Structure 1
Amino acid sequence: MSWDIQGLFRLHAKGIARSLMRRGMSGEAAADITQDTFERVLVRQSTLEGATNHNPKAYLYRVSRNLGINQIRRDALIRTVDLDSEEAREQPDPSPSPEHIVYSRQCLLQTFRALEQLPARTRTAFEMHRLGERTIAEVGEELGISTTRAWTLIHQAYRHLLSATEEE
């Protein structure tokens, strides 16, 4: 025995939509979820025969409630703005300005120049730690120095980079 989806839709679609609107959904969202509810039931009808044949109305309301909860969760994660609203026109462009790009490149060039001024061992220790993502103990072991000496070299490099980039 199969469900009469058309009959169930005629009997329960308005009630399902009203129950979704009582939960705070807009009329359009409630109508969409109501259609999704019946689509789900239609697609899964063959697997539902034995388990839910006794009360299709309760099953439809449960499916619509679950879909409504999922929709509310999605809406909470994603902030939407109507494109015709004033708020949308006031949204800043997320791409960096040309001035910011030039400034960032200048800062990067200053940092490279400051790195070139460092003694070879200090620079190597700094690059292994900062760029190679090695711990201070690993840097010390690889360079054949104590952990304390490795920390000192890296600390000196940081201090030099900060002083060199602040001056310019």
Structure 2
Amino acid sequence: MWDLHHLFKKHARDIRQALRRRGLPEETAADLTQDTFLRVLISPPETTKTTFNPVGYLFRTARNLCTDYQRREGLIRKVDLSPEDFSAIADPSPSPEKQVYDRQKLLLTHKALHELPERTRKAFEMHRMDEMTIAAIAAELDLSTGRTWSLIREAYEYIDSRLSGL
């Protein structure tokens, strides 16, 4: 059984440096160093071999992970974009369909709020819009905190039920 904690403390820096010498950026080398120990933790080498070198095994695992990483990176086509070009790729504004859908949801929510009993609506608005705590709402409405939470939960459930058909 390997003492991975001891091996990590003693050899992680050397493995990371070896990966850096293979041309990897610092963050990638650090990630692959951790992946090396994780790989060994998940799938340790066979213990039936008469001679084995744990440090050599770790370095070979790190080298293999580095090779895999560099192969994957070689398959990816990279393009340098200016900030203006990058921002032009995706329009952050919602689509017209999304705008219509959101307006419909807002209208239904507004109607549902006005259908609620006054005290329930007020408790919900204080909680959701005024960001008041349950205790503060309970004190203002002269209710117990349990009853206040029940009112707010009822409002959420009612609004949700009205929106579920959309």
TM-score range, shorter chain: 0.3 to 0.5
> Rg larger in 1 or in 2?
1
TM-score normalised by structure 2 residue count: 0.48
TM-score, with length taken from structure 1: 0.47
